[in-house]
Amino acid sequence: MNKEIFVPAEELAKQRDFMKRCRELLVKRFGDERSPLAYVKSFGCQQNVSDGEKLRGMLAVMGCGFTEDVNSANIVIYNTCAVRDNAEQKVFGIMGLATHQKELKKDLLIGLCGCMTQQKHVAERFKMRFPAVDFVLGTHVLHRFPEIFYGVLASADRGKRKRAFVIDECDGVIAEGLPEVREDSVRANLSVMYGCNNFCAYCVVPLVRGRERSRRSADILRDARALIEKGYKEITLVGQNVNSYGKDLENDLTFPELLEAINAIPGDFWIRFMTSHPKDCTKELLDTIARCEKICKHIHLPVQSGNDRVLGEMNRRYTREQYLSIIDYAKKTIPGVSFTSDIIVGFPGETREEFEDTKSLITEVGYNSLFTFIYSPREGTRAARMDDPVSAAEKAVWFNELLDAQRDIGMAQFEACVGQTLRVLVEGEGKLKNGILSGREGREGDCVLMGRTEHGMVTDFFGPRELIGQFVDVRITEASNWALAGERI
Ligand code: SAH
Ligand code: SF4
């Protein structure tokens, strides 16, 4: 393992020192009557959410409080996603608004980080088109946020505003021990690795997140134990391709061994992981899921397409048959196992017949639900240079057909739960309006609670608020194609 991947302890100590110095400048700027308020908004995947939690951690050490209301914030940070064009457009839209907010509130500080900023052409656009932006951090310099933020604060203090644009073009680093303030107190994401080596033809992630690098299992296990001690009831191990965890480490654990070690930590909690790449999904992994009682019997296994030619063009490195044989083995080995998947509709050159193969595959597997996307060209990827003759209107027709097909498949999966008693982890209050229990009333003092089953199915039931954060047995009485409802036992 290349030791240089780990950010040295001295560098991290230097950043801690900058956090203290930022704290002093923030007091000078906003007074010491109350903490300056930060608004940190993360878009996209769990990795981004986790980065956002580290930013919040560093801001907390600097003495900041947090707000969910952007208008009341003194520091606004958008942690962006680049995986599809609509995610990027959302941020460009918001930047217009942020510019206006800065006109009203001159001392507002605005920053951007995440996958969009790691792309040179996008960072350039932020620089030229949005003068209101004070700092831009690429994905590989997140741990240097204190130093960069200090530069911005100090220059403003001297009456000479200096914007910072720091985008390091390396293969990525691992910074252990950054403080974090988590968004959720029941479920926690825990990064096990960063980056991706797969270069699927459509995907920008390897271009913005660097090469695969695994955290040491001892660090992951330490974090997992701490989370469980704090009372977290669900831990999701996060990485772009968790199945290749550990391949870059020497004398350390493989992913199934890591799962086994987390499963052995005492306590009542669930383990999930994402994302599993089908090309690396081994029988050993599936046997481990079957054997370990804390691992949810639910696998998110993105297939993207059901057609071999399209899968080849996508550089996914498995065939339809290989994918289906994994599903088959999992169904035989893990009683009651369920699946979800990601699908891309309208990859360049995909034909109607090839799309039909995706439709037949989803019926064959019987997914609980799907994350479906219309192909979005990403600059710098191989697919962006391919011919794409099918019109957007035609792709939208296919997309809707896929949603219709999945609606029936999902409905069957959800209806099969009616009459069963399922364990639900209660995440928070549910919605009565437009929810599955809409128009109903619970006992006095009860509210609608929302949780998820081990299979990730949203479940609503009436109960007291105190149950939030706990496992509850619920007898399922009704189902829609996206949710369950029931009664607490
Ligand atoms: N590492 C994960 C997911 C990465 S991105 C994996 O390999 O499964 C999440 C999902 O976004 C992908 O699974 C894919 O379905 C979708 N996606 C990625 N790039 C896309 C693009 N250019 N257009 C449309 N969907 C895309
Ligand atoms: Fe993107 Fe493929 Fe890597 Fe997933 S495995 S992040 S889809 S390149």
Q: Which of 194, 200, 274, 376 to mutate to test the pocket of ligand 2 (most atoms within 8 A of CB)?
A: 200
Domains of the chain: 3-166 (3.40.50.12160), 184-296 (3.30.750.210), 299-416 (3.30.750.200), 421-488 (no CATH)
Ligand 2 near 193 CB (within 6 A): no
> Which of helix, strand or coil describes residue 148?
helix
Q: Where are the beta strands (DSSP E) in 222-356?
A: 234-238, 270-274, 298-300, 338-345
Which ligand does the CA of 82 lie closest to? 1
Q: Does residue 307's CB lie within 6 angstroms of at least one atom of ligand 2?
A: no
Q: CB under 8 Å to 20, separation ≥6 — which residues?
A: none
241 lines ligand 2 (CB under 6 A): yes
**CA gap 289, 271 in Å, rounded:** 10
Give the C-alpha separation, 239 to 297, whole Å: 19
pLDDT at 293: 98
| 228 three-state secondary structure | helix
Q: Is 468 in the pocket of ligand 2 (CB under 6 A)?
A: no
Nearest-atom number in ligand 1 for the CA of 376 is: 23
* Distance (Å, whole) CA 481 – CA 136: 42
Q: Which residues contact 228 (CB under 8 A, 6 or more apart)?
A: 235, 265, 267, 269
Dist. CA 357–CA 306, nearest whole Å: 5
Name the DSSP class of 242. G
Cα diameter, the chain: 68
Work out the angle between the directed axes of helices 320-333 and 283-291 (0-180°, nearest 10).
Answer: 20
Amino acid at 78: Y
Give the type of residue at 170. Answer: C
pLDDT at position 157: 84
The HSE-up count of residue 317 (CA atoms within 13 Å, CB side) is: 10
Q: Residue 66: its pLDDT value, please?
A: 97
Q: Give the pLDDT of residue 4.
A: 80
What pLDDT, on the 0 to 100 scale, is given for residue 156?
87
Task: Confirm if 446 and 403 have CB atoms less than 8 A apart.
Answer: no
Helix (H) or strand (E) holding 48: helix 46-61
CA proximity to 359, closest of 60, 294, 350, 440? 350
Tokens of 161: 């505003």
Q: In a 10 Å sphere around its CB, with 0-12 CB exposed, 13-18 middle and 19+ buried, how is residue 168 labelled?
A: middle
Does the Cβ of 344 fall within 6 Å of ligand 2?
no
Phi, psi of 161 (to 5 degrees): -60, 130
Q: What is the pLDDT of residue 354?
A: 98
Amino acid at 22: C
Q: Give the tokens for residue 95.
A: 């930047």
Per residue of the chain (489 residues), give pLDDT as tens.
455 899 999 999 999 999 999 999 999 999 888 899 999 999 999 999 999 999 999 999 999 999 999 999 999 999 999 999 999 999 999 999 999 999 999 899 999 999 999 999 999 999 999 999 999 999 999 999 999 999 999 998 888 999 999 999 999 999 999 999 998 999 999 999 999 999 999 999 999 999 999 999 999 999 999 999 999 999 999 999 999 999 999 999 999 999 999 999 999 999 999 999 999 999 999 999 999 999 999 999 999 999 999 999 999 999 999 999 999 999 999 999 999 999 999 999 999 999 999 999 999 999 999 999 999 999 999 999 999 999 999 999 999 999 999 999 999 999 999 999 999 999 999 887 777 888 788 888 899 999 999 999 999 999 999 999 999 999 999 999 889 999 999
Q: If 0-12 CB within 10 Å is exposed, 13-18 middle and 19+ buried, where does residue 391 land? A: exposed
Return all residues near 144 (Cβ < 8 A) that are at least 6 apart.
15, 137, 166
Whole-model pTM over 0.75: yes
Q: Which ligand is nearest to the CA of 305?
A: 1
CA dist 400 and 345 (Å) reads 10
- Ligand 2 mean position to 5 CA, how many Å? 21
Q: How far is Cα 237 from Cα 224, in angstroms, rounded to an integer? A: 9
Q: Which protein residues touch ligand 1 with a CB less than 6 Å away?
A: 83-84, 202-203, 205, 240-241, 275, 277, 302, 304, 342, 344, 373, 375-376, 378
Question: Is 277 a pocket residue for ligand 2 (Cβ < 6 Å)?
Answer: yes
Residue nearest to atom 19 of ligand 1 (CA): 203
pLDDT at 375: 98
Contact 448, 442 (CB under 8 A): yes
